[in-house]
Amino acid sequence: MILITGASSGIGYDASLKLAGQGHKVYGVARRIEKMDSLRGSGVVPIRMDVTDEKSMEEGVQAIIKAEGHIDVLVNNAGYGYLGAIENVPMEEARKQLEVNLFGLARLTQLVLPGMRERRDGRIVNVSSVAGKAVVLFGGWYNVSKYSVEAFSDALRIEMRPFGIHVSIIEPSGICTPWGSIAADNLERCTTGTAYEGPGLKMAHNMRWAYSKHFMSGPESVTRSIVKAVNAWRPRVRYRPGRGASTFVAFHALFPARWWDALVRGLGKINTR
């Protein structure tokens, strides 16, 4: 039995369909259950769950365990992006991003682990990002959240392996989903009227162009990695789907820090006059 968060759109929606089509029992969860109605016909069971709400997560997990007896696989896919200069991003938004991308993921993992540990079998698949490996312009708080998912997943893998529980991390590059336009809107809102307006608006415009023109890889590329992590006898620790993901991470590892800083600053010129 598989539980997938963020199943109302994009990667979560596509992965739910694919795994259900392979014969897995899939529970797709998201805040807006009405957006998952079309999944029902494919055998996916939609459940409303808010990963920032403790009670919502506890009730959701309990309902699934009551119906199925156990949860075999948890795919932590729900994510949120609020881009902008660190100086300008409201702390409320910074905290919200960490709440969704890290603490919600961590708490839901805590809720499913006891059953997996008792059975000495289970899989946790955390959808991170190449942004968890390298900082990009105006990515500050989003980078913080994804770097944290990387560290959390590594620590969890070390702790859980003796209990037969595999932990895999998915590190996509840019993927053509609604995330891109939402992040661009947030970036524009956050930088308008500030010292970062020029490069911020330019970057928001470029993001909208890239996502609308399908320059990015589609969600199915990430779904393939999720499916491998779920089905493989011995899943890999990390998967890097999407165009340029492995190259991006390799460049960051090879470049001296100042070279990388100059490269990402090249995405926009901040006017200091």
Q: What are the catalytic residues?
A: 142
With CA atoms as reference, report the closest residue to 3 among 122, 164, 120, 117: 122
Cα distance between residue 270 and residue 273, in whole Å: 9
Residue bearing tokens 């993927």: 175
Instruction: Determine the angle formed by the axes of helices 104-119 and 140-160, rounding to 10 degrees.
Output: 10
Distance of CA 9 to the CA centre of its chain: 12
Residue bearing tokens 């590329």: 221
Q: Can you give the length of the chain in residues?
A: 273
Cα distance between residue 64 and residue 112, in whole Å: 10
Which residue spans within 97-223 are E strands per DSSP? 122-127, 165-170
Buried/exposed 137-168: b ≥16 CB within 10 Å, e otherwise? bbbbbbbbbbbbbbebbeebbeebeeeebbbb
Cα distance between residue 251 and residue 230, in whole Å: 29
Please provide residue 71's backbone torsions phi and psi, each rounded to the nearest 5 degrees. Answer: -120, 120
